[in-house]
Amino acid sequence: MGLNINGLGGSSMAPKKSNGVFVSKSKVSAVKVFYDEQQKWQTRPDSIGVEMTLDIGKDFEPTFYVGGAFKLDEFGDKVGIGTVKKVDILLESLGIDASLTEDNKIPEDVVNDIVGREFVRLSYVSGVKDNGKSKWSDWQETRPVGTDFNDFTDAFLNAVNQGWVRNYKPEPEDELAL
């Protein structure tokens, strides 16, 4: 690992931008949870969706959404965690251990406990805006603070290679603009 003094080197824990990927620490400043509610950009609703406002140490606070759907059988009965696993990974990344209620909701005290917690997120170039600058999207997988940023980037690139992330469109380093 080595010695890291205020992000000046020795480890890969400082914010990192490379090949259209940016990894950094984020702190949750607000949270809202959705259940079976389709977001305007979705083609179908998630069983559970968590939208957070993030303090990223800049003069703006972006929103970040993590959601997923339970695996259902042909009769519509829940048979597995499905892509709700991403919400589980988020809670693990935040250092929260919780169980869903009987009606498959995150307990309210757990929701309230999310605010103020930190995690590592990964953003990536997903195209070009009308103004010619890079368009950035967030990967819905998260990691705990302390995660090696290179390892997180490698996990993302593996997901790209597996076809799970289809809109990753890296640009040459000198053309990237946040």
Q: At which residue do the structure tokens 């469109």 appear?
A: 169
Q: Where does the pLDDT of residue 14 fall: very low under 50, low under 70, confident under 90, or very high at 90 and above? A: low
Task: At 124, list the tokens.
Answer: 């990536």
Q: At which residue do the structure tokens 């946040």 appear?
A: 178
Distances in whole angstroms, Cα of residue 99 to Cα of each of 6, 43, 87, 103, 125 = 36, 28, 12, 11, 34
pLDDT (tens digit per residue) in 107-135: 999 999 999 999 999 999 999 999 988 89
What is the model's pLDDT at position 174?
A: 41
pLDDT (tens digit per residue) in 72-119: 999 988 899 999 999 999 999 999 998 999 999 999 999 999 999 999
CA–chain centroid gap for 159, Å, is 14
| Mean pLDDT score of the chain | 86
